[in-house]
Amino acid sequence: MAILVNRDSRVICQGITGRNGTFHSLACRDYGTNMVGGVTPGKQGETVDGIPVFHTVWNAVRATGANVSIIFVPAAHAKDPILEAVDAGIELIVCITEGIPPLDTASAFHAVRFYNRRLIGPNTPGIISPGHKCKVGIMPGYIHMPGPVGVISRSGTLTYEVVDQLTKNGVGQSTCLGLGGDPVVGTSFVDALKLFKDDPETEAVVLIGEIGGSAEEQAAEYIRNEFNKPVVAYIAGRLAPPGKRMGHAGAIISGGTGTAQSKINALNEAGATVVENLTQVGAVMRQILK
């Protein structure tokens, strides 16, 4: 099954005629994703290398039966397309855009929850299920390999790094999911763990956290109480000075909370295998799966 995206996903891209929208829509299709359409107001009737473009998400959904959308709209305008996707009935919304004001995300997220949809991101690399040849994101597809490990992360390139290690260690992935680097994101570690728990294709999970907030501590509590599969965890940012945003808007130690040590301790106590050296994640997971 993998989680959230699979061979049955029918994907549209909001902002498909922009530079990034075009590039990544085609890259997703090349990987095997069923890209059924795109949305750019005023350009209905055009195509992007054969992918039909629609004025509105509603038109796209009606014509194609799309159930997943990937958003590449600039930050200043990104709240509206999330709401548009929600109202058009899209079940899974993947928002790649970085730099959306968190108050905008919060109000869009409210609508997502109210209508019982799912939002991944913003500021996410997206999601990929290699065994289903379905990629809804900007990650390099070729580093992935089908297999039993779920990957959840707040960081894009760090996910690639870890996936690359897993693959080189002969450990494939069921679904890899970037939660996004913003302080407010639509899907949390706990949300993702719940899905992996019920996914028969997933045998173990890699959790990649970083400083800021308390999502990893909440994940630790869930792992201790409910989760029944092995977890290998890595937390980035042990050297981060308090009060500085470390690249991601959400990666900041403030008011003494959000330190790497607090997250490492919580995950250790919950029974996860916390790896100190990033370069060991793949090898440790291979050992666990033996």
Partner 1 sequence: MNLHEYQAKQMLAQRGVDVPRGSVCYDPLEVLIGARALKTDRVVLKAQVHSGGRGKAGGVVVLSMEDDIRRAAAKILSKRLVTNQTGPEGKPVSAILVEEVLPIDREIYLGVLQERAAGWGVIMASAEGGVEIETLAREAPEKIVTMKVHPVRGLSPYQARGIAYRLTDDRQLAQQIEKVVTVLFEIFVGLDCTLAEINPLVVSGDRVVALDAKIVVDENALYRHPEMELWRDRSQEDRLELSARKDGLSYIRLDGNIGCIVNGAGLAMATLDLISLHRGMPANFLDVGGGASEQVVADAMSILLDDERVRVVFINIFGGILRCDVLARGVIKALNQFGARLPVVARIEGTNIDEGRRLFEESGLPIEMISSLDEAARVVVQKAHAA
Q: How far is the CB of 273 from partner 1 (least distance, A)?
A: 17
Single residue of 36, 128, 134, 184 touching partner 1 by CB under 8 A: 184
- Check binding of 125 to partner 1 (CB under 8 A): yes
Q: How far apart are CA 42 and CA 13, in angstroms?
A: 15
Query: What is the smallest separation between the CB atom of 262 and partner 1, expressed in angstroms?
Result: 12
Q: Nearest distance from residue 149's CB to partner 1, in Å?
A: 18
* Helix or strand (DSSP H, E) at 118: strand 118-120
Contacts of 206 by beta carbon, 8 Å cutoff, 6+ apart:
149, 150, 151, 152, 153, 162, 166, 231, 232, 233, 234, 281, 285
Q: Does 116 bind partner 1 (CB under 8 A)?
A: no
Q: Residues 6 or more apart from 97 whose CB is under 8 A from it?
A: 71, 72, 73, 74, 75, 78, 121, 122, 123
**H-type alpha helices, the chain:** 19-31, 57-64, 79-87, 102-114, 156-168, 189-197, 215-225, 260-269, 281-289
Q: Looking at the DSSP assignment, which residues form a beta bridge with residue 151?
A: 176, 206
Min dist. Cβ of residue 105 to partner 1 (A): 6
Identify whether the C-beta of residue 68 lies closer than 8 Å to the C-beta of residue 10.
Answer: yes
242: which DSSP letter?
T
- How many residues of this chain interact with partner 1, rule: CB under 8 A? 63
Among 13, 85, 192, 215, binds partner 1 (CB under 8 A): 215
Shortest distance (Å) from residue 287 CB to partner 1: 17
Closer residue to partner 1, CB minimum distance, 7 or 76: 76
Stated length of the chain? 290
Q: Which of 94, 251, 274, 285 binds partner 1 (CB under 8 A)?
A: 251
Report DSSP state, residue 198.
Answer: T
Contact 254, 243 (CB under 8 A): yes
* Interface pick for partner 1 out of 153, 174, 202, 262 (rule CB under 8 A): 153
Interaction of residue 266 with partner 1, rule CB under 8 A: no
Binding mask 221-250 for partner 1 (x = CB under 8 A): -------------x-xxxxxx-xxxxxxxx
- Residues near partner 1 (CB under 8 A): 75-76, 99-107, 109-110, 113, 125, 138-140, 143, 153-161, 164, 181, 183-184, 188, 208, 210-211, 213-215, 218, 234, 236-241, 243-251, 255-256, 260, 276-279
Catalytic residues: 248
